[in-house]
Amino acid sequence: MKILIPTKLDKAAAATMAAAGYDVVQNDTTPLAELISAHPDTAGIIVRSEKITPEIIDALPALKCIIRAGAGYDNIDYVYARSKNIDVMNTPGANSNAVAEEVIAMILAAYRYIVPADTTTRAGEWNKKKYMGHELTGKTVGILGLGNIGRLLVKRLQGFECTVLGYDHFLSKQRALNIGATPTEIDEIFANSDIISLHVPGGPSTKNLINAELIGKMKDGALLINCSRYGVVDEDALRAAKAAGKNIIYCTDVHPKDTAAMQPSADVADLLLPHLGANTKEANKKAALKAARQMVDYFTSGDTSCVINGEKPKDLNPAHLHLATMLGKLCYHTGGCKPIRKVECTFYNNLRSYRKWFTPWILEGAVPGAEKGLMPAAAEASFREHGIVFKAREPKDDKQYDDALTLDIFMEENGAQHISSVRGMVVDGVPVVSRIGDFDHLYAALEGNTLVLRYNDRPGVVAVIGQALSLAGINIENMMAPSHHASGTSLAIIKTDKPVSPQQVQGIASTIDASLAFAISM
């Protein structure tokens, strides 16, 4: 069986697979198209940044498995691969230590002017007085994101006797303390830290997370490091702050594309690196060995636990999977978007047979920034990595909800836990929510732009909401506002023709004194 490695990967991968009896071809100098043409009998392929397109997949009729030696897999058309019954895997975690050490290197390089000092000394200058530096020892370091990389960074900082402040939306305070970081809110981290390092996921949930307000809170001379994703820092706001005289040192290793070009961060960054985070021989070897072992296990024992594009059962309605994601998103917002401690889900009727397949879809909806497209085992591991207990429950015998599912999210706020609970089903092919908390028999479609408000039940509130939306040029497409007589509250679920902005939501909530108010697009 032939395995192709068309990339500069540690030789340990080829050696491991060759020892297991595979015919391994490793070549990082020949163009990929030529390699594919020369080896049409390839059954498995391991890549790093090489793009695996539908054309490449079609040119390999014997291909069964593609492994990305690294965490991200956007360079692989895994959807098309699935349509050809080809499994795609990645090797998350292999690069974590490399990134953590890069952060330490960037801190020391920035604090001691390593790059400019070297350049000017080689040019014959002697700028000893100009490059008066700082020591890392004893500094206060704030870390946003205490996943694999953030936790390793905490360990690496311990030798420098730093005070470490940590923020992670999903970790309990005690677990953060156990890691070695004092749990701290983001604004406090920015106000009190000498150094701030970012290790959060990319995407809409974290775009411009580091905004003008947070930048304005930073100490004079503070150091901001972004080794997470491009777009997490509002670089326009940072640029404006620096232009106004704010003294901030900015180091970044992330860019819109990993390619030779004038990077948009060049004028605002004090230290700019070409995405070197995972670029160590040790990380390369870890990823290589992990990829090789996964490939061998895949072909010898049929191990698909690391597959990220697994095929769900053919008789499982995709609408039910979409329902799980939408319920997760709705439940998270209904609970006030607080740190999650536990997620429990009950599957009814026919859905009980497929409950493991719902785990990735629940993860995607309930946990902002969570990795998408995981297989069930990997999704369960991701829940654990976020410090969240996930449990699939058996329904009670006296409850019959047809093919429905109930989702309960246990959240923590100021040391106290509360539960956000929703139930939903698919009606005429459309996912609907049938219950939110104590409000039952809703049957609101989980699609489009939705505004949700809970308030004390009284006459005239619906008219106030309608007028506010009308003044904003937003049309109401559908609306229900049931009352819960025991609590004296009402719940308005409003479908609108366009998204309601956070400012508009806040204005309406203030006007009607809402106890819950949010808008989401589904």
- Does domain 312-445 sit in CATH 3.60.20.10? no
Tell me: pLDDT of 400 over 90. no
Per the model's pLDDT, the better-predicted residue between 393 and 251 turns out to be 251
- Gap between the Cα atoms of 297 and 467, Å rounded: 62
For 96-272, CATH gives: 3.40.50.720
Tell me: pLDDT of 372 over 90. no
Lowest-pLDDT range of 176-180, 368-372, 434-438: 368-372
Assess contact for 359 and 324: CB atoms under 8 A. no
Assess contact for 432 and 455: CB atoms under 8 A. no
Q: Count CA within 13 A, CB hemisphere, residue 439.
A: 22
Angle between helices 355-366 and 318-334 (to 10 degrees): 40
403-443 residue pLDDT tens:
899 999 999 877 778 899 999 999 988 999 999 999 999 99
Q: For the chain, what are the domain ranges?
A: 2-94+281-301, 96-272, 312-445, 448-522
- For 70-85, the DSSP string reads SS--TTB-HHHHHHTT
Highest mean pLDDT among 316-320, 395-399, 418-422 belongs to 418-422
Q: Long-range contacts made by residues 426-435, C-beta under 8 angstroms, separation at least 24? A: 426/317, 426/319, 426/320, 426/323, 429/319, 430/319, 431/319, 431/320, 431/322, 431/323, 431/326, 431/327, 433/326, 433/327, 433/330, 434/401, 434/404, 435/406
CATH architecture of residue range(s) 448-522:
2-Layer Sandwich (3.30)
CATH architecture of residue range(s) 2-94+281-301:
3-Layer(aba) Sandwich (3.40)
Q: Return mean pLDDT, the chain.
A: 91
43-84 residue pLDDT tens:
999 998 899 999 999 999 999 999 999 877 878 998 899 889
Domains 2-94+281-301 and 96-272 share a fold: yes
346-362 residue pLDDT tens:
998 888 888 888 998 99
205-262 residue pLDDT tens:
788 999 999 999 999 999 999 999 999 999 999 999 999 999 999 999 999 988 889 9
